[in-house]
């Protein structure tokens, strides 16, 4: 049952639906910060101007009207007017029964909607650069983008996951120049990414002493754009070797893509973009380069062609956006790219608007902060990088040690698999637990804290619940016909209320592009379940109440697993 909707309909009915509709009232409904203030609250402040009355008076009049309705008494325990709020208190047994029954009926489909039916959302994320290692900073876009895609898919949208690989640009001129000077084919075949990084870093070191190397690199990139066979063959070698490495890490993260169309894919589509801009008289010359200017200098000019005639990543992003609209006819085109690129995307979207594309408004840049280490800074150019694979493997090894030293984890047979799920999940959780625009402070103490706000803590709550259910099965207990209305204690009620909020939490996460909404929800759910577990003796309760509590345990596990999936974290049955 939709209790928010029921409360909204009660408000609209009391007003004869003249001043506010049920849909409008439902959007205004909030959850009070303190359960003693009710379970659902309707703020009356927005009605003060219409009614020319003080909010407390409006709340009191609404209360009297609603209490006269027989329907209200069958749903709500009580309705109170406090200040300018109308507070609705739900009947515990009724809420527990309706919510838990729905979860057990729908399983992992609980909370899913069809609001996105017929709408396609493209999510571009990860997008590492070819021939450069996958460092820890890349995980932010990878984890965030994957979670956003999962959230929208959960709400019924047709999603397309795009990995816009950085496989084009002047850096390849530098890499080709470096390879021709210092490349060791055998060494690169054996360890492509690390060997390519070495010569790339060496190029920058040498270029500081010999600036003419930069000119040579620009010449090689021009040859690449012109299709020089030898240069193209080297480029393809770099691409193939890098993708092989990237896919190994994606498998570890349990992430897949629908498209790997990178920057090079659009190399033959860029001339059309340049021609369209010329036809619309949008190109201007500036110091030999071709740029698009904006009215009143609200944005810096967007460079389309450099002075040597080569393209820039703005040209490629314009070609990509136009191609995606033609190919996918998207509802939203989402770019999960660091906040420092905000100006770039403002320019891209503004150029698309000037070109007359109304769908430019459907392009969205989702920014995020940096990964901060207490004493380190990430920089690919100088080789001082924290490699993602090293971090993931270290997390897995640290998790193994924790499990081995735990007195409650002696019966785990598949230690490697469990440690991988917990170790990788711990990293993903920590990257998604706060608002995406905040910097991530990386400390092992917080990431692998099995008792605090962490991935392992939530996974342990799930494993604990599954352990209870296994014991029930081993004891031959069939709880499928339990009377849920018996479970009307405070702990059961709080669990049911949290589970009931799942759908609205996922919707909020989608609207804000903030997976942290889901992360906070599942953490709260784990904490609430642990309180329930420690307070209510599930297996020692009298049989009827025991069975009801087992149903609640199963429903909670189902919801935890579903929410963890949305942030890319896999569950473990034993810890």
| Catalytically active residues, by annotation | 132, 135, 138
Q: What is the DSSP letter of 171?
A: H
Our measurement of the distance from residue 380's CA atom to the centroid of its chain's CA atoms, rounded to an integer in Å, reads: 25
β-strand pairing of 120-124 with 332-336? parallel
Closest CA to 522 of 548, 557, 493, 491: 557
Kindly report the number of other CB atoms within 10 A of residue 136's CB atom: 22
Our measurement of the distance from residue 563's CA atom to the centroid of its chain's CA atoms, rounded to an integer in Å, reads: 11
Distance in Å from the first CA to the final CA of the chain = 35
Question: What gap in Å lies between CA 308 and CA 471, rounded to an integer?
Answer: 72
Angle at 364 between CA 108 and CA 434, to 5 degrees: 55
Burial class (CB in 10 A: 0-12, 13-18, 19+), 187: middle
Closest CA to 442 of 430, 456, 454: 430
N residues, the chain:
575
Question: What gap in Å lies between CA 447 and CA 426, rounded to an integer?
Answer: 6
Closest CA to 166 of 297, 341, 378: 341
Angle at 443 between CA 400 and CA 559, to 5 degrees: 65
Q: What is the DSSP letter of 48?
A: H
Our measurement of the distance from residue 450's CA atom to the centroid of its chain's CA atoms, rounded to an integer in Å, reads: 23
* The two three-digit tokens of residue 103, written as one number: 């979860």
Contact 503, 113 (CB under 8 A): yes
Q: What is the DSSP letter of 227?
A: T
Contact 130, 242 (CB under 8 A): yes
Contact 156, 116 (CB under 8 A): yes
Contact 226, 129 (CB under 8 A): no
Task: Find the farthest-apart pair of alpha carbons in the chain and give their distance in angstroms, rounded.
Answer: 87
Contact 49, 62 (CB under 8 A): no
- Assign 540 to helix, strand or coil: coil
Q: What is the DSSP letter of 314?
A: H
Closest CA to 322 of 263, 267, 272: 272
Orientation angle between helical segments 388-404 and 138-154, nearest 10 degrees:
80
């Amino acid at each position: 049952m939709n209790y928010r909707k029921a409360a909204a309909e009660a408000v609209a009915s009391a007003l004869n639906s003249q001043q506010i509709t049920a849909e409008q009232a439902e959007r205004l409904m909030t959850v009070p910060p303190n359960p003693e203030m009710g379970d659902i609250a309707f703020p009356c402040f927005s009605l003060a101007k219409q009614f020319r009355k003080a909010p407390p008076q409006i709340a009191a009049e609404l209360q009297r009207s609603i209490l006269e309705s027989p329907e209200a008494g069958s749903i709500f325990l009580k309705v109170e007017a406090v200040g300018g709020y109308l507070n609705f208190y739900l009947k515990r047994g009724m809420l527990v029964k309706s919510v838990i029954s729905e979860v057990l009926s729908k399983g992992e489909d609980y909370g899913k909607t069809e609001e996105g039916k017929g709408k396609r959302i493209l999510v571009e994320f990860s997008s590492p650069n070819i021939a450069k290692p996958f460092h820890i900073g890349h995980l932010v876009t990878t984890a965030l983008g994957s979670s956003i895609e999962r959230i929208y898919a959960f709400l019924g949208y047709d999603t397309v996951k795009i990995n816009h690989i950085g496989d084009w640009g002047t850096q390849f001129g530098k890499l080709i120049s470096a390879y021709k000077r210092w490349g060791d084919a055998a060494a690169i075949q054996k360890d492509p990414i690390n060997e390519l990084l070495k010569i790339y870093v060496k190029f920058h070191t040498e270029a500081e002493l010999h600036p003419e190397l930069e000119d040579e690199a620009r010449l090689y990139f021009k040859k690449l754009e012109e299709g020089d066979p030898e240069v193209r063959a080297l480029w393809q070698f770099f691409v193939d070797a890098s993708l092989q490495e990237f896919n190994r890490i994606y498998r570890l993260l349990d992430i897949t893509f629908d498209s790997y169309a990178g920057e090079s894919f659009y190399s033959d589509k860029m001339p059309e973009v340049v021609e369209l801009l010329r036809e619309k008289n949008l190109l201007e010359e500036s110091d030999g380069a071709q740029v698009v200017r904006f009215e009143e200098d609200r944005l810096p000019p967007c460079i389309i062609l450099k002075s040597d005639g080569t393209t820039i990543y703005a040209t490629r992003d314009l070609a990509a956006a136009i191609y995606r609209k033609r190919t996918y006819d998207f509802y939203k085109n989402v770019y999960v790219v660091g906040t420092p690129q905000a100006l770039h995307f403002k320019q891209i979207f503004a150029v698309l608007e000037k070109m007359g594309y109304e769908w430019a408004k459907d392009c969205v840049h989702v920014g995020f902060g940096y990964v901060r280490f207490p004493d380190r800074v990430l920089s690919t150019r100088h080789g001082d990088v924290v490699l993602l694979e090293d971090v993931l493997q270290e997390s897995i090894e640290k998790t193994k040690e924790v499990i081995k030293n735990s007195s409650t984890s002696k019966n785990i047979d598949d230690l490697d698999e469990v440690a991988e799920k917990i170790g990788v999940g711990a990293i993903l959780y920590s990257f998604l637990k706060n608002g995406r625009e905040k910097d991530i402070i990386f400390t092992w103490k917080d990431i692998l804290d099995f008792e605090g706000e962490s991935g392992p803590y939530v996974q342990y709550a799930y494993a604990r619940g599954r352990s209870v259910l296994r014991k029930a099965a081993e004891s031959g207990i069939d709880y499928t016909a339990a009377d849920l209305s018996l479970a009307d204690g405070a702990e059961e009620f709080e669990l049911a209320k949290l589970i009931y909020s799942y759908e609205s939490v996922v919707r909020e996460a989608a609207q804000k592009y903030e997976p942290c909404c889901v992360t906070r929800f599942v953490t709260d759910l784990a904490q609430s379940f642990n309180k329930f577990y420690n307070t209510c003796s599930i297996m020692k309760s009298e049989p009827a109440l025991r069975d009801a509590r087992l149903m609640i345990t199963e429903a909670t596990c189902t919801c935890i697993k579903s929410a963890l999936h949305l942030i890319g974290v896999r569950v473990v049955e034993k810890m």
